[in-house]
Structure 1
Amino acid sequence: MPTTATLLTFALAAAALVVVPGPSVVYVMTRGVEFGRRAGMVSVAGLEMGSLLHLIATVAGLATLLTAWPAGLQLLQWAGAGYLLWLALDQFRSARPVGRHRPAASAPGCPSTLRLFREGMLIDLLNPGTAMFFLAFLPQFVDPTRGPVAVQIMVLGGCYLVLAVLNDSAYALAAGGLAKRLRGSHGSRRRTATVTGIIYVGLACVAVLV
């Protein structure tokens, strides 16, 4: 097990990283603004499940294998970007003007809990940056003389996940507070969907270029 000093040092370093808004924060905020606090929190749960799976993959050695295969890492980048573009297209569709053949009553409602959770999980799973974080950052705080390396990585990864949940949840709840104001009319829903779609396109570009 890591020493108390190591855990405190890691927690401070990880907190400094998660507090800076990144793609995950942007995603949960858009979901919170669109559909409210509950949707934002479900999205947070999906994201952190994706991070947990990345952590398990790191312990199992899969992340090391992915890093050793550059084409696989690039494939993961493009898959993540493609998924974000698909989400953007869905937003642009929902932002279409209301006409005689599409009355205001047909405006899309909040996605199901399963869909929100699945989308959040896939966004994180298809983010190679998360895999590289667990592979490159966590081992710096591992001391082989303190016991099994896999156990230490899981403990450190668990500490990071707790910090990520607290940070992302705060953003999701804050964004959810704006949901009612921005969803008061069909026009505001259209504008929110359009802005969200543009944000997803931007995140897709970041996923490919970074």
Structure 2
Amino acid sequence: MSFPLGYTGPLSGIVLGIVFGYVLENAGFGSGCKLTAQLRLKDWAVFKVMFTAIIVASGGLYLMQGLGLVNVARDMFVPSVFIWGSALGGVGIGAGMAIGGYCPGTSLVALFSGKLDGLIFFLGIGLGTLVFNGFSASIESWAWKQVGPDSLTVPQLLHMPVWAVWGLLFAILVGVGYLTRTNQASPAASMSRKASGMTATQHS
């Protein structure tokens, strides 16, 4: 069985894309300020939303495996880790996200939200892709040379059961949520406290 809608063609991609874009926009990811605030460790919304998505997806996959709906060995491809290529790609996309404030997905959300910087960022992705394709052949042997873990999932790499890895990820999410929680009261209560403080000052 394939999900969603029992179909893996363009229709499922469109449906999931619309839902994903809607979630990102409502989470505020259509603004470049959101991502840069995460990189400055000022706003943890990006981490919480994306890590929650990882938890839900991995938990759903684990459940479907248990129900016999998915066979990882048969239905899924687990790529090997190419250390130098991954490092180069990580630095490149990390720099782009820090400078532009978007990742490829959120740039499209910003674009369809009517933001000009989203359009400029998306055009930059296209131009960067063309430039990279021009010299990718010259670095291919270097980027693919150092191979890391060969087609291993995280539980296999850590020699831990799947449920334990999922539990660890969930604990990280809860821990970050607790440590970055905000204890802000409602605006009305805040205004009331300020007014009370001003009154007390005037009486004194």
- Using structure 1 for the length normalisation, give the TM-score: 0.31
- Using structure 2 for the length normalisation, give the TM-score: 0.31
Q: Radius of gyration: which is bigger?
A: 2
